[in-house]
Amino acid sequence: MLSPAQTLLRLEDAGRYASGKWLVRGVDLTVDRGEIVTLIGPNGSGKSTTAKMACGIARPDEGRVIRDPALRIGYVPQKLSVDWTLPLTVSRLMRLTVSLSKADAEAALKEVGIAHLAGADVQTLSGGEFQRAMLARAIARKPDLLILDEPVQGVDFSGEIALYELISEIRGRLGCGILLISHDLHVVMAATDSVVCLNGHVCCKGSPKSVLESPEYRRLFGGRAAATLALYEHHHDHTHLPDGRVLHADGTVTAHCHPDDGHHHGPDATTGQKERGEGDA
């Protein structure tokens, strides 16, 4: 049973075994409606495997994955198995494995800002446009839960910010829960309600601040962790982006600071590029 009523998904001691080894074990996590939970961890730490268990593509070999059978899930996989030698329009991509009305497909493309690309060949899309198309595909059936496996891959920094902003907007509009996999520690820590750090098992989890401060996280990410923590503590209220806009702690982006914003940047942090270099991989 899932309780309280707002809990969409729960993994209890979930583990997946394949090819004679445990890919990941002992995963406990919940995603509530309206919440963004982010999985972080080094390459091969079991993030995608956990996402696959969460959405039902992979069955747990131990523990349990509990979700309401009626739960609608939208999934953006890390990789797509498509024969790219064949032409494929965005519109066709939208309906590749799900039955979707033309109107719903068009509405979803509009929602992510690429309605004009419905007839374009997927191969001609930029990295950001492709990720938006994948997002449109995932939200078209108005999911309760979105599972996004590295949704900003192949996207440049300002595109990343725009995509995270869009994801945050979608959460607000659909009122869905989101399980996100991301390597971008800086943005994750600013825009996430809860973080689960994996390393073949759950290494640490909790609020972004508690994860940043945990010795396990620091051991795993080393200097990068310390830099992210320093940034987070100093700029936890808001961060100035390279294009001059302001990323707030709740993940929203505005043109300027709010009058009641707290920490402002010190003289060394006037360029967003530096911040990103410090806080990112």
Ligand X SMILES: Nc1ncnc2c1ncn2[C@@H]1O[C@H](COP(=O)(O)OP(=O)(O)OP(=O)(O)O)[C@@H](O)[C@H]1O
Cβ contacts of residue 279 below 8 Å, gap of 6+?
A: 185, 186, 224, 227, 228, 231
Q: How many amino acids of this chain bind ligand X (CB under 6 A)?
A: 12
Give how far the C-alpha of residue 213 lies from the chain's centroid of Cα atoms, to the nearest Å: 21
Using the minimum distance from each CB to ligand X, give the nearer residue, 41 or 279. 41
What gap in Å lies between CA 169 and CA 13, rounded to an integer?
31
Of 46 and 151, which has the nearer Cβ to ligand X?
46
44 binds ligand X (CB under 6 A): yes
Among 27, 40, 41, 191, binds ligand X (CB under 6 A): 41
Q: Considering the complex, state which of residue 23 and residue 202 has its C-beta at the smaller distance from ligand X.
A: 23
Q: Do residues 117 and 125 make contact, with C-beta atoms less than 8 angstroms apart?
A: yes
Q: Give the contacts of 18 (CB within 8 A, at least 6 positions apart).
A: none
Least separation, in Å, of the C-beta of 98 and ligand X?
23
Positions 7 through 26 that interact with ligand X (CB under 6 A): 18-19, 23
Q: Where would I find the beta strands (DSSP E) of the chain?
A: 7-18, 21-32, 36-40, 62-67, 73-76, 145-149, 177-181, 194-198, 202-206, 238-240, 246-248, 253-254
Strand-pair category, 7-18 with 62-67: antiparallel
Q: How far is the CB of 99 from ligand X (least distance, A)?
A: 28
- In the bound state with ligand X, the residue whose beta carbon lies nearer, of 19 and 81, is 19
Q: Mark residues 74-93: x for contact with ligand X by CB under 6 A, - for none.
A: ----x---------------
Min separation Cβ 23 and ligand X, Å: 4
Q: How far is the CB of 109 from ligand X (least distance, A)?
A: 27
Helices 127-139 and 102-111: crossing angle in degrees, nearest 10, is 130
Residue type present at position 257: C
Nearer to ligand X among residue 44 and residue 87 (C-beta): 44
Which of residues 30, 48, 131, 228 is near ligand X by CB under 6 A? 48
| Least distance between ligand X and beta carbon 137 (Å) | 20
Check residue 46 for interaction with ligand X (CB under 6 A). Answer: yes
| Token code pair at residue 268 | 């060394």
| 43 binds ligand X, rule: CB under 6 A | yes
Structure-block tokens of residue 260: 């009641």
User: Least Å distance between CB 197 and ligand X?
Assistant: 11
The contact set with ligand X (CB under 6 A) reads 18-19, 23, 41, 43-49, 78
